[in-house]
Amino acid sequence: MKRYLIFFVTYFCLAFMQEAVAQRDDKSSAILGMTGGMGITRLQYNSYDKSLYHFKQTASSYFGVSLEFPVPKTENRGTFYNELAFFRFKSSASLHTADSVNGNPENSYYDINLEFEPNIISLAHMFRYSFTPGNFRYFVSAGIYNNFVISAVNRKTTVHTLNGVAGEPYHEDAVTDFAVHGLMITAGTGFIYKNIGLELRFDPGRNFTKLYDCSVYSMTFSALLHVRFNP
């Protein structure tokens, strides 16, 4: 509980600090908005840079609120963009491997199924720069984010068949030594027309495990719709 409290306090402290800076110039004002969209996500599960499981591409969903602060010294082309959003996806993988140690290899094997479905609160801080002035603005953005997993299906099920006889399913964590939160970079590009915008964003994915010899991350390409209430 303390971890989540620190998370929200940090977010609002940064927001108020940026608003205080913006209020030094009468031409600057905070822009409140909402964002939402869909993406394509693929979970990568590697050990010593070798892939252990093959996950298919899956759809992801993303929606939240935003707070944007124009930078007067850039003629309001540059903005500090903050986003608090909910992100989720569902991944699964299966592996069939022979048991070459016990019994007859033709009838002795392991069936392994992985399920990973996290529900994530994401906090992003980005800098946007618009190349075109006026109502139509084409922009690029880059920054950092911190993901907090608030709940997750994290299950690995193994069934050992020995000499043609299936054993009882064995359950354990799909992602061992699970990391609840982690920092990563993100980048995007898009356009805004008056109070409506569209952005294509790339997220290389942060590591979901704290193991030094293993990496589990979800690379995502998203298409996001932005609505600004006071452009």
Paired with 110 in beta bridges are 97, 160
pLDDT of residue 231: 64
pLDDT of residue 23: 46
Residue 230 identity (one-letter amino acid): N
pLDDT of residue 99: 86
pLDDT of residue 190: 97
The pTM of the full predicted model, rounded to 2 decimals, is 0.81
Q: Domains for the chain: give ranges and CATH numbers.
A: 2-228 (2.40.160)
pLDDT of residue 48: 85
Two structure tokens written together for 80? 């500090």
For the chain, 231 residues long, give each residue's pLDDT as a single digit of tens: 445 444 554 554 455 444 444 444 444 489 999 999 999 999 999 988 889 899 999 999 999 999 999 988 888 789 999 999 999 999 999 999 888 787 676 788 999 999 999 999 999 999 999 998 788 999 999 999 999 999 999 999 999 998 888 999 999 999 999 999 999 999 999 999 989 999 999 999 999 999 989 999 999 999 999 999 986
3-state SS record for 150-188: EEEEEEEEEEEEECCEECCCEEECCCCCECCEEEEEEEE
Which single residue is written with the structure tokens 């996500």?
41
pLDDT of residue 20: 43
